[in-house]
Amino acid sequence: MIDTIANQLSQHQKQVNDLMTNLQIEEKRARLRTLQAQAESPTFWDNPAEAQKHMQEIARLNDQIEPWEQLYRRINDALELSQLGDDMEAELAAELDDITREVERMSVLAMLSGEYDDADVIMTIHAGAGGADAQDWAEMLERMYLRWMEQNGYKAEILERSEGEEAGIKTVMIAVKGQHAYGYLKSEIGVHRLVRISPFNANGKRQTSFAKVELWPDVQDEIDIEINEKDLKIDTYRSSGAGGQNVQKNETAIRITHLPTGIVVQCQNQRSQLQNRERAMQVLKARLFEIERQKQKADLAALKGENIDADFGNAIRSYVLHPYQLVKDTRTGYEVGNAAAVLDGRITDFMESYLRARITSTSS
């Protein structure tokens, strides 16, 4: 039995070593040593803005390197214990189970090594076909994603939110910050379909509603795009809200239309019109940056997804609340019967199932 455990540990060791090679962990470690040495310079903080970016890169590299090195050391330690004989069998069997789960989790993280997978993101949710039901469904999705972000340590900032006439929302734009934000959330790009008994139908009929999720990386520091002021139409309006103290009495919200492309960006969450304008311009640059990358790479759906209607036949995932409960991803076949838990933010398994399927299809 101890030989079997040692053999499985050796297989994990090789798998982790291969993944570390693919992820260029050694090269990242060398880069980290260089940055750390530079940070020790007496003049390092003479330029605080550059120093802050420098320290952020150090933190990001540490986050990328340390989990892999810890796992590799843990496997090596277990292999050394396996040489002590059968007395360690029970302890090693439990350790092997933990290591196996950790290797599986880290293998998923290895899938998040694309060009912008570690970037912050801007997510939008749009109500689709279905009237008040669709707008209510868009708000349910908004809550689902905000719950997922909260549960997984992401920082969410609502940049703009348009309320529905009867219920829910027409659209919402959320800035999301955190490790692998784009890598995980890219699995959500597309149309989401809800089937339930409509709370807005007096006859209690079953209703199908749709909402669309869009996403692009929020790579502000990497964007070098000049925008001609003549190409912009800028409107101001009062921020909307639930009422009370949070509603601005002045026109602090900003809507910017980029005339050559027709892109419209709105921002209303900041305290002043100037702050809203600056953030809206950042979002506009991010969207224009994405368009340029799509043209260069000829991969139109790689980041933002195809421009498809939020309607029948286009759903990437179906959420059925009646006559039974089931959430099923149409791309991977992965399904869960506890729809309430999914709508409460437990969607990581759907994301990782998508990532595995994507890697498999890419490598086959």
pLDDT tens, N- to C-terminus, the chain (364 residues): 899 999 999 999 999 998 898 888 999 999 999 999 999 999 999 999 999 999 999 998 998 899 999 999 999 999 999 988 778 888 999 999 999 999 988 887 788 877 788 889 999 999 997 789 999 999 999 999 999 999 999 999 999 899 998 899 999 999 999 989 999 999 999 999 999 999 988 787 899 999 999 998 887 656 667 788 899 999 988 776 543 334 445 678 899 999 999 999 989 887 788 889 888 888 888 888 877 766 765 543 444 455 545 555 579 999 999 999 999 999 999 999 999 999 999 999 999 899 888 765 554 4
Measured from the Cβ of residue 163, the count of other Cβ atoms closer than 10 Å reads: 16
Q: Which helix (H) or strand (E) holds 293?
A: helix 273-297
Are 189 and 328 contained in the same domain? Answer: yes
| Domain boundary pick from 110, 129, 145 | 110
Residue 281 pairs in a beta bridge with: none
Alpha carbon separation from 339 to 141, 173, 190, 322, 333 (Å, rounded): 12, 24, 19, 10, 15
Are 6 and 92 contained in the same domain? Answer: yes
Q: Please state the domain count of the chain.
A: 3
The CATH number of the domain holding residue 137 is 3.30.70.1660
Are 9 and 51 contained in the same domain? Answer: yes
> Cα–Cα distance between 180 and 110 in angstroms, integer?
11
In a domain? residue 116: no
> Cα–Cα distance between 192 and 249 in angstroms, integer?
36
The CATH number of the domain holding residue 81 is 1.20.58.410
> Cα–Cα distance between 172 and 202 in angstroms, integer?
28
| Domain boundary pick from 297, 326, 352 | 297
> Cα–Cα distance between 75 and 69 in angstroms, integer?
10
With CA atoms as reference, report the closest residue to 359 among 118, 181, 110. 110
The 3-state DSSP composition of the chain as helix, strand, coil percent (nearest 5) reads 50, 20, 30
Are 105 and 127 contained in the same domain? Answer: no
| Domain boundary pick from 89, 110, 131 | 110
Are 208 and 256 contained in the same domain? Answer: no
In a domain? residue 221: no
Structural domain harbouring 101 = 2-110
Are 211 and 314 contained in the same domain? Answer: yes
